[in-house]
Every structure is written in structure tokens, then in C-alpha cells.
Chains A and B, each alone.
Chain A
Amino acid sequence: MEIYLPIAGMSMNFFLIIGIGGLVGFLSGLFGVGGGFLLTPLMMMIGIPPAVAAASDSNQIVAAASSGAFAHWRLGNVDFKMGLVILAGGIFGGTIGVQLVKVLRAMGNFEFVMKVVYVIMLGLVGSAMFVESLRTIRRSRSQAATAGAAASEPKLAKLFTKMPLKMNFHRSGLHTSAIFPFAIGTIVGVMAALLGVGGGFIMVPAMIYIIGMPTIAAIGTDLFQIVLTSANVTLQQAFVNKTVDLLLALILLAGSTIGAQFGAMAGKRLKGEQIRILLAIIVLVLTVKLFLDLVLTPDDLVSLAPAKGGGH
């Protein structure tokens, strides 16, 4: 069954899109990550123009994260104050990012920059996870692992308490400088626009290990800010680049929500380190594929550049 995507301007197999959405949803349910960082490269692989892939994924993330954020909000896991500071950075960064996309598209190297950033980021995340989960498996005793994690007190967090612009973050039980949450919000905002990702896989570790927030508050707050950051990116992409394919986003969403439910079920049957090593392998395979795209001689040296201003 083919479906015509109006903004991408192409017809695609409906089941292929919903299947990819389902696969990413399954993985995100299994691993507890947003999955945006897997979705955009997969969309590009099946031939969706990179700018449309990134913009539509942002739109899809708004939906995926809002359901999670809603659940956490009811459980009281959202630190709104922290979320808003990060959000301020995220909106600032997202706006820069969208303008950056515009410039890069005009220069014809958007795809190149996107892939380089992906390779670096996925490479780092993938290898870190791989090493960490291998270590955990070797230790083979889950008790030792949790003890180790708890022992690593965030050292940077102490430094931030000495910086200016201090604020009280009640829900997180912190009294720390607002500069760092703002800065990390900015970085993730730029990446959200550039890559079409929510940024949770960077934000959550940063909030736990660097800012020093409790894990559950970090996840809840992260989801809350992802909804708003991705909403901002979606708006900006719609205004500036006109590349949001709502139809594509909705099909992805349908696939990913169903997949996420099955992923969560499967997650209960597998051990944590097995899950993580699986995710690490997927991420590394994707990294290698993207890296090869950059260094192998392309089939076509001449390619179509998006018209100025995108769209028509």
C-alpha cells in the first residue's frame, strides 16, 4: 500500500514507514530512549530528503514525548523550574539550529554536516554504552553494578553551586547556578534542529551526572522540556524551511506508539545489560553505515540541491 507524502513529494510504502516507526518505538520502549536519533537516519536511508526527515521527526517527537511527560507530570516527577531554564536554552538553541539548517541547505552541505554530527555523536554514545554494558556483564553481579553507579557522586555539580545566577530547584532538591542547565539546553536545542532528535540520551545523563538531579526527576523533567523544545523546532521548521510533513509524522507516531508498548513488555523479560549491549550494537552499526556514506565514493557525484527557501 503506497501513500503519497505531500511535503516530501514522494510516494512511500505505508507499511515500511509504520514498520520503521514501530521498530524505533519498540527500541525506545525497550531502552527507555526517545529514539529520534535512530529515526532520522533510517528515514534518510529509505530516501526521505534529510531536511524533511529531521523536521518531521521533530514533529513526531512532540507527540511521543507528550504522552510520557503527561504520565510523569501526574506522578510529580517534573521539575518545572529546571525544565523552564533548560527550555529557555533549548528555544535559544533551536532557533539558532533552524537558521543553521537554512544556511547549510543553501550551501548544499546540510546532509554532510548532519552525517558528521551523527557519526561523532552515535559513535561516542554507542561505544560508551558498549564498554559500560560489557563491563557490567563481566562483573555479572548486578549488586556490584548498582553500588558502583551510586558511588560516583557528581563532582561537577559542586562546581556549579559556586557559579553565579544561583536558583533554588525544589523538586530536584538543588540550589545551583542556572548557567549550566541553560547551556546544555542550548546545545541540545541546536542538535534537535540539526538532527531531528529529542536529545534525551544526552540530556538525562547530563542532568543526573553533571547537574546532580535525582534520576526519576531527570527523566520527567527531560520529557517535559523535550515536548516544548521539539514543539519550538517544529514551529521554526514549519516557518523557515517549510519541511514538516505532518502525514509522515503521524504515520511514524502510529507505528512508534504501538512499538513502544511491545518494547516495554519485552524490556521486562531481558536483563538491563543485555538490553544496553543490544542498543550499543545497533547504534554502532548505524554509525559505521553513516561513516561509510561520508568516505566511500558516492554513486552520483552530481545531486539535486534543495531550492532556495525549500518547498516549491
Chain B
Amino acid sequence: MKTFKIRQDWRGLLASIPKQIILLFFSILAIYPLYYTVVIAFKTRPDWLHNQFGLPNPFTLQNIIGALREGNIPLWFGNSVLVTAGSLVVSTVVSALAAYAIARFRFPGRAFYYNMMIALMVIPPAVLILPLFVLMVNIGLINTLPSVIIIYCGLLIPFSVYLLVSFFRSLPPELFDAAAIDGCNNLDMFWRISLPLSTPAMVTLIVVNALFVWNELLIALVFLQDQNHKTLMPGLELFRGHYTLNEPLIMAGNLIATIPMILLYLFGQRLFVEGLTAGAVK
């Protein structure tokens, strides 16, 4: 009996080898570009020319220091933080209010409004940029951070409303009945029941939306053309243009721009998984 069990374990282990090999292969593929970026960011330029793929020899912080000093990277980093924070605060509050109305009230046009939000999720941003550019020029917001904050908010609303409606609907109705008896009005219920109980959904939503705003290129490129008002993604395009021949410096810039999202991922992997699979998996 005992030998049988051992033999089975051993067999199971043997059977899992092909699976391990396939998974290992794809994991190496997935991690390699990041490994390459990190390694080059800490290489000297002669080292990069002779030893492209290996570990840094000698190890240097010169590129990181250079990227922080020579370009506007710290400024762009700050702009990215402001734009991301601004877009998230406004879009989350606005979407939560709308989602609350859809989830809690019965009113004419409710189904239409909800379906419209779902449909809007598929509109390509490239379609919207020209009219929005003309608009931002006319109201004097072009090359300012509020211009992209407003646009990102608009783009984030459909998905945010969709996600929050499904969450608000799952809250037990008894809570609201009890609150009504205690004399709460609807706005009180929003602040005291819906929002506090939705913290997990809110955090998930904020993490997924932060990823979108931080990494977005097209809108930032079109609306922030002035050097001093760029965010990181269009800023790095400019930076790459300036230092075409200094690859380690470019990689250092890329690495600096990536670190916040990697940290967010390391601490909140679960949140990404939940946010991205929400709605699709039931």
C-alpha cells in the first residue's frame, strides 16, 4: 500500500514535467523584456555595447541619476501623479453617484442609460481626439493638466459605472429598508451604506483605472505638447528622441516610469485580477 502511494506520487511528478516545461517557457518569455530593461538600466554604455544580454559589469547607478537629472523626468513623474490622482478622484465620485441611481431607483430610461454606458466602453479614443482638441483650444485648456484629467474621467466613467452598478446591486436590500425606517434619506444611504460597504470594489476599480491612466499615451501626446506639462508617457517619447544613442539612459527612464505600477502590482495583484475579471466571470 505504501509503496503504491509513493509510486503514484512519483508518477504524478513525472507527468507534470511537460507542464512545468511549458509554463517555465512562457514565464521566461513574459519576464525577459522586463529583465532586459532592468539590466540595461544599470549598465555603462560600453558594457551595453559589448555585453548586451548579461548582468551589468560594472554595475552603475549613473543612468538612473542621469535620467533624473538631465531630462524633465521628475517633473513629468509629478504630472503623471497629479493627472492619475485627479482623474481617479473625479471619475470615481461621479461614477459612484450614477451607479447608485441605477442600482437603487426605478425611473424611466434606466435600462437605456445602463446599456448606453456598456456601449460606450467600445468607442475608440482615436475617434474623439480631433473634436476634443478643437474644444480644448477654444476653452483655453490645451497644454494643461485639467484637459487630460477631464478626458480621462469621461473615458473611465462607462466601465466604472458598469462595475459599481453590479456591486451596488449585490448589497442586501434589508439594510436600506432599515435605514429608511431610521429616517435616512437617499443621499445619507449613499454615504453611510453603499460607499462604506463597497470599499473592496472601489479599491479594485481605482487600481485598474490607475493602470489605464498612468500608461495612456495617445491622449497625453495630443493634449500635452508643451515640455513642462507632459506626463511620463509622452515625456519619455521626447526623452528617447533626445538620447537615441544612449540606450542605458533610455532604459533607466523607462524603468523609473514603470516602478509605480510594479509596486502596485506586487502589493495588489489580487486587486488587478478581481478588477479585470469582474463582470466577465459569474
**A, B in one complex:** no
